[in-house]
Chain A
């Protein structure tokens, strides 16, 4: 009798406990709800942009505060990551330029273009893996534009974007593998990309329905050209310092400066 009780007691209690903890919400991926921007061109395209009247928005992203330290990425355990470069790779999460501006800020037109649609250009955007670091760290694409991913390292990588509006995928790239061509059909700012083999490798991809974006470089400036005259919401995104928005109105052939300041 005792035996039979024990027989049921052990597995039953553990199984009940297991059932109790395994529940929860369904996987939160690829929601793709109605609110998600679609890559499908709008049904009624707006008037084409006249290059003769196009406006330009320029500016810079200033950094106010003490520049954060950039620790060395410790990848010594993987010689394949360090053998091709004698320079130590530094964390790219926040890079303050010498002129007190911020690098790797994705600046783009968030609102104001209405239902204009822009077909993806044939030109590919390249994301390279060199020294177990993504180059570039931040990049922009038009929805449907080809993204060419290269592996220049003598080691395995895997490319793992983690989007909220697009399909998630995780593809391995052994050394010498052929380039990987991918695209994101839906607009999404921003899509984190990581390598699970080398957890320090991170990049961010901004996918838009239009080409009006720029990424700040070594001087912290940006330029968005070819805009039709109008009023726009310009957003600046940074992986550590979040987002800021500014309103700007540009007339025909006008060039306006929009400067952001990020507090450190």
Chain B
């Protein structure tokens, strides 16, 4: 019940921010802007889901942005510079991302390292490797792989609507979201994932192989990050290793937290993450569109909104707890 209230709350904030933005900037509701907003939200939604799976176990993944950089830069580099066929490049990079995620999980469970540290090292290592491979040069697709690029920047025309088309990543997100929702809420693995986040000792006492489930969560986060990395670069067409994907892990974590994930673990919903990811993108969009808000304060606004959301959540939690104990 509390979860639903949380979702409604964050949805309310999203609607409010969107309405205010529309009021101040009519171009917010233009077909072009909506389409772009949906595209960005979808891309960040995908990596937000990945982050939330790890956060539900009580862990964290800080390497998301750098892994996006690695996958995002290697995709055009392998296709245009090395000359590998695109249909091999993408699956290979997705497998690589999954394995890297899995390695985070192994380090966390087998060596009992802290997730923060493991993935902080990942953050440095993956970006460093990418910059090394590309010698800090920007890579683009040029004329290659245009069929593939439709996955990122494709537009699916809807019959009878002009000027607006469904962005291809949105379709991919919907598929991923449905699958993740089923995984989290309808499979044994998902149930165990939540149980581990709730109370790891209890999970162990129930005979759940905690380590395997956790490694799975990190691997899936890697895979979703990889998918995000590929789609991001397919959308933009080129990538610069020194800044591609910078801070994306923080957008992903912000989406997860706004969507109701607790960093203590055990809580989180896919729908919440999607709303959270959208809210972050709407905020970024609003700052760009509304005259009078300098673009440079983007981070301050996002940080402020998250802080308010977290404080409100805590206040509501204490209020209900106090109410309950009075009874």
Partners in one complex: no
